[in-house]
Structure 1
Amino acid sequence: MAGADKKKKIAVAGLASILLVAMCVAVAVGVTRKSGGGDVGSSGNNGGGSSGSISASTKAVQAICAPTDYKETCEKSLSNANTTDPKELIKVAFNVAMENIGCVLKQSTLLKEAASDPSTKDAYSVCEEVLEDAVEDLKRSADKVGEFDVSKVNEYVEDVKTWLSAVITYQETCIDAFENVTGDNGEKMKNLLQTARELSSNGLAMVTDISSILSSLQLGNLGSRRLLSEEGRELYFKDPTDYAPGEEPHYVKRGRRLLSAWRANAVVAQDGSGQFRKINDAIAQVPKKNKNTFVIHVKAGLYKENVIVPKGAHKIVLMGDGPLKTRITGNKCFAKGTKTFQSATVAINADDFVAKDIAFENTAGPEGHQAVALRVSGDRAVFFNVHIDGHQDSLYAHTYRQYYRDCSISGTIDFIFGDSLAIFQNCKFIVRKPMNNQACMVTAQGRVDPRSQGAIVIQNGDIQAEPAFLATKPAIQAYLGRPWKQLSRTIIMQSNIGGFIAPEGWSPWMGDFALDTLYYAEYQNRGPGSDLRRRVHWKGIRHINAQIADSFTGGRAFGGDYWIRAAGVPYVPTLMRV
């Protein structure tokens, strides 16, 4: 009887899923209808002015869809919007995408119930989590557009572009979860997400185009603020808790390390000298949708727990007693049946997170394959004097904006990967010994949309190898990176590159995949591995000048970097003097 019930459940889920697919496709066309607004093309008795209004609305739709890559999907999704206001049309486009992803979420739940093996169920679980996040980002993008203030255009546009880039990354993360899963479930999800991916890409294109139009008209504060001198000197910033109400963050004298002065809201200690013995218990005290800085001091010790900073637990500052004293470890890994996305020892899902003087480690070893030490899926994250240790996939710089300063990241294969806009200043990248017959890649960037903010930028870094790697005979091949996705983008500049890096510099992923479409650049690097004469000659390899290199510095690439200044860490928003 149990077997018959299960077959009946699967059959019902399958029928419902077919109906939901049809609904999701229809959403793109029908959701823009508004009661009382009239439909474009209707023949009601609206008077002589109606056709003129409809014509103007149609032209407005065509204009706002002009920069998109999926124009037919765009125009269909806005066909009943009945407005000429670009801001309203963009909000409608976001709402259509939200409705469509909502349909996909319902479908994913049904398919998860029908799945028979744990790996497939886990893949659908990843989809449920990341697609809910995608809907949330579309919602806050729509809200931001609705609040648009021309005097803050740069901040507004950069926020929305970041969040829409994340929506696209989340959809790609859902599809990636089906890697190595048997059956056609991955292909089903890819097909189901096709319209959502087109709608999300279109939304990003609209916002990017509006940004360029406003820039050409020189409206508002469009230029990035040059926060430090042209010499690139370092400054430290005041602790946010030291500011008077309404006071703008500003510079203090160099050398004053004010992060140490932050007052702890909670103390974690294994010896019982704090309020908590586990880090997750302290995080649980942070209010939902938190708006105030919440400092958690984690005293010296080895904490064996998988730490999750949940969505909404914003503005957490996690402070240790030093990365050699305060360490968080876990060993979840792909080899033991855990999806890469779910394997992180520490997962950051909230905005405005800061970590200082602490270490995150995945101890699964090279035989664990994909095993993440730190996954960052929150916007405006800052890491200062943090160690991130693992082997394959150590740091999942997943999405949004991220800044790393004076950090150490170790690993073997693709040990910094993801599709965030991540800038690393003065960081060490330590290549470790892999398993036999494996090569090492420092980066594997995952951009899939040409307008996405995603990039890995290494500035004044030190790319080195551990002794065990260097002692191996024959020598192990190591590369700066390889293209995980079609538009992979990585810039390494003003950095020291060790001589163990292969002279070719970059490794292909599979055959000629992405070699023409990637964006890899090196600028003003030094060290025995920085010689460009024997580098690969792919179409995607770029030779950049100072102006282009400067566009990838924090003061330019982030658009607004107030969040780094507020974190009270050393920071250079320009090219550096090295």
Structure 2
Amino acid sequence: MAAKKKVAVAGLASVLLVAMVVAVAVTVTKKNGGADSGAAPVSTASKAVQAICSPTDYKATCEQSLSKANTTDPKELIEVAFNATIDSIVEGIKNSTLLKQAAADDSTKQALAICEEVLGTAVDDLKRSGGKLSEIDVSKVDGYVEDLRTWLSAVITYQETCIDAFENTTGDTGEKMKKLLKNARELSSNGLAMVTDITSIISSLPMGNVGSSRKLLAEDEGRILYHKDPSEYESGTEPKFLGKVSRQLLAHVKPNAVVAQDGSGHFKTINAAIATVPKKNNVPFLIYVKAGLYKEHVEIPKGANKIVLFGDGPFKTRITGNKNFAGGVKTFQSATVAVNADDFFARDIAIENTAGPEGHQAVALRVSGDRAVFFNVNIDGFQDTLYTHTYRQFYRDCTISGTIDFIFGDALSIFQNCRFVVRKPMEHQACMLTAQGRVDPRSTGAIIIQNGDISAEPAFLAARPPIDAYLGRPWKELSRTIIMQSNIGGFINPAGWSPWMGNFALDTLYYGEYQNRGPGSNLAHRVHWKGIRQITPQIAASWAPGRAFAGDYWIRATGIPYVA
């Protein structure tokens, strides 16, 4: 049955390609003066290349990358484009290694080390995108589309992260790296455009009851993610700390590792427990962290997938670190907890960066893994508290505190029923809740706050003169943030949103508010930038997690409270 569906997609793709080729051929014929103009005929392969490149923003780069592709198959053409992008990024990695060897200062070396890491992950995302493209199944098309768009958006974000790492470095190494990645960045954007264009056409065509297929997919994958045959578990081993809600889905499961500072568990540190997760793990690995203060920098390595990290509650189990930019550590590397693996789930725990406002950029949690879920987690810091770096992330019943840009990044991150606490910054500083970092018009990145509570700590409210606080500012040109159905405290500046610098991104950002409440929700005196959007009920519904994520099985599989 699956083979038949894949064949159907191949046939459909061929039909789409024919339509595109015809359109391109007509355009080329008209430009060349018609059939009797005497111009040399354009080959079928060339027409196919022009067709596949037609939706891209960098057409010359696209056509050059496909100039040697002797095929009219759209899937093969996109794979050739992916491979060209991989080659270009690999060249950037090689050059970053050479530049690092020649770098004289530590800050530049750190930046180049970040480039090597994130560009390597970008290559991995291109490879898995190519693999996903060859497996497209009509009945699950929405999920395939969303995966491809998510991973290709991440490829773009990772390259941007490399460039950002050179902020405040001396010399011209950052400019050299930007030039080295110019071609790769254009190719990455083109790849996302190709996939978005073709798969959006596939998605719009009637293919039977796709909605039912999505529902079945979600339920089936949920079982695969968090269930085994009950006979594989010992009876009566359900851990009490899992909580009433998760007990329904994780019945009879006992933790793979228990962390306790008093020696009552398997390990005394969280990192020691993580070190036991198999490489390229693909089954749930439960780590229970007993009450205590864990002063360690925790890193979930790439490939250590499906880790479930549980505590005894955010006021009992706390992880703290204090790496910060003022202390010579790059923002990307400052996280107390860094998640680089997929399908990470954390609940009933607290994560904090204790550097204070004097540390400037000091991340408590960085999430660079796909399909991450956080429930009842406190994330505390000051500037740059939560780095929602990339991919898909969902936060429910969490509390996030900070001062400047304390939620930032380019993931599609949705916060449902979360509390946001603005803290007192240093003198002469204003506070911004969000700083979203989208750079490509087709990328999936956005910060969505639904039914949140935006408040401030007493020290902030008592400050004299009063401190300005805003809902957000545009870190990147296409910054996108929506706040809906949330309570907004009266301390928020009536303008609502703050510029980054001058007029940067004010016309190209996408900021919106919908059905908010509280004294700070009055829209009468909001800024009137071109990028401020009027959010209709239909637009608001499209950003609810069940719609925005397309396939949300990974949220429902955790068993946490969730409104799709």
TM-score by length of 2: 0.87
Shift, 1:471, TM fit: 0.3
Pick the aligned partner of 2:304 from 313, 318, 321.
313
- Matching of residues 213-224 of structure 1 within 5 Å: 213-219=201-207
1:470 and 1:451 map into 2 onto residues whose CA distance is: 40
**Matching of residue 86 in structure 1 with residue 74 in structure 2:** yes
Pick the aligned partner of 2:549 from 546, 552, 558.
558
Pick the aligned partner of 1:181 from 169, 192, 200.
169
Aligned residue in 1 for 2:55: 67
**Matching of residue 131 in structure 1 with residue 122 in structure 2:** no
- Would you say the 8 A contact 1:150–1:220 is kept in 2? no
Pick the aligned partner of 1:487 from 478, 481, 484.
478
1:206 and 1:426 map into 2 onto residues whose CA distance is: 36
1:438 and 1:226 map into 2 onto residues whose CA distance is: 47
Pick the aligned partner of 1:56 from 34, 38, 44.
44
Shift, 1:218, TM fit: 2.4
Shift, 1:213, TM fit: 1.1
Secondary structure of 2:43's aligned partner:
helix
Shift, 1:396, TM fit: 0.2
Secondary structure of 2:114's aligned partner:
helix
Amino acid at match of 2:412: L
- Matching of residues 266-277 of structure 1 within 5 Å: 266-277=257-268
Aligned residue in 2 for 1:21: none
The total of aligned residue pairs comes to 505
After superposition, the Cα gap between the structure-2 partners of 1:220 and 1:421, relative to the gap in structure 1 and judged at 3 Å, is farther
- Would you say the 8 A contact 1:268–1:279 is kept in 2? yes
2:469 and 2:213 map into 1 onto residues whose CA distance is: 38
Shift, 1:215, TM fit: 2.6
- Matching of residues 151-550 of structure 1 within 5 Å: 151-219=139-207, 241-242=226-227, 244=229, 256-258=245-247, 261=251, 262-550=253-541
- Would you say the 8 A contact 2:490–2:518 is kept in 1? yes
Amino acid at match of 1:572: V
- Would you say the 8 A contact 2:300–2:340 is kept in 1? yes
> Residues 410-440 of structure 1: CA distance to partner in whole angstroms, max 9, x if unpaired?
0000000000000000000000000000000
2:366 and 2:227 map into 1 onto residues whose CA distance is: 30
2:212 and 2:514 map into 1 onto residues whose CA distance is: 22
1:225 and 1:536 map into 2 onto residues whose CA distance is: 44
Shift, 1:238, TM fit: 8.5
Amino acid at match of 2:297: N
**Matching of residue 122 in structure 1 with residue 110 in structure 2:** yes
After superposition, the Cα gap between the structure-2 partners of 1:303 and 1:225, relative to the gap in structure 1 and judged at 3 Å, is farther
Shift, 1:220, TM fit: 6.4
After superposition, the Cα gap between the structure-2 partners of 1:438 and 1:358, relative to the gap in structure 1 and judged at 3 Å, is same
Unaligned runs of 5+ in 2: 1-39, 216-221, 231-242
1:203 and 1:134 map into 2 onto residues whose CA distance is: 13
Unaligned runs of 5+ in 1: 1-51, 228-236, 246-253, 574-578
Secondary structure of 2:483's aligned partner:
strand
Secondary structure of 1:132's aligned partner:
helix
2:160 and 2:209 map into 1 onto residues whose CA distance is: 33
1:432 and 1:305 map into 2 onto residues whose CA distance is: 24
Secondary structure of 1:358's aligned partner:
strand
Amino acid at match of 2:442: R
After superposition, the Cα gap between the structure-2 partners of 1:127 and 1:439, relative to the gap in structure 1 and judged at 3 Å, is same
Aligned residue in 1 for 2:86: 98
- Would you say the 8 A contact 2:140–2:214 is kept in 1? no
Shift, 1:263, TM fit: 2.1
- Would you say the 8 A contact 1:494–1:525 is kept in 2? yes
1:384 and 1:61 map into 2 onto residues whose CA distance is: 46
Secondary structure of 1:458's aligned partner:
strand
Higher RCO (CA < 8 A, seq sep 6+): 1
Amino acid at match of 2:204: S
1:112 and 1:224 map into 2 onto residues whose CA distance is: 52
2:244 and 2:485 map into 1 onto residues whose CA distance is: 23
2:197 and 2:380 map into 1 onto residues whose CA distance is: 40
After superposition, the Cα gap between the structure-2 partners of 1:62 and 1:282, relative to the gap in structure 1 and judged at 3 Å, is same
Amino acid at match of 1:349: N
Amino acid at match of 2:503: D
After superposition, the Cα gap between the structure-2 partners of 1:66 and 1:285, relative to the gap in structure 1 and judged at 3 Å, is same
2:299 and 2:205 map into 1 onto residues whose CA distance is: 44
- Would you say the 8 A contact 1:154–1:223 is kept in 2? no
- Would you say the 8 A contact 1:224–1:560 is kept in 2? no
Aligned residue in 1 for 2:65: 77
1:363 and 1:224 map into 2 onto residues whose CA distance is: 47
TM-score by length of 1: 0.85
After superposition, the Cα gap between the structure-2 partners of 1:335 and 1:506, relative to the gap in structure 1 and judged at 3 Å, is same
> Residues 234-284 of structure 1: CA distance to partner in whole angstroms, max 9, x if unpaired?
xxx989645659xxxxxxxx9744278552110000000001001001001
- Would you say the 8 A contact 2:225–2:283 is kept in 1? no
> Residues 356-402 of structure 1: CA distance to partner in whole angstroms, max 9, x if unpaired?
00000000000000000000000000000000000000000000000
Shift, 1:210, TM fit: 1.0
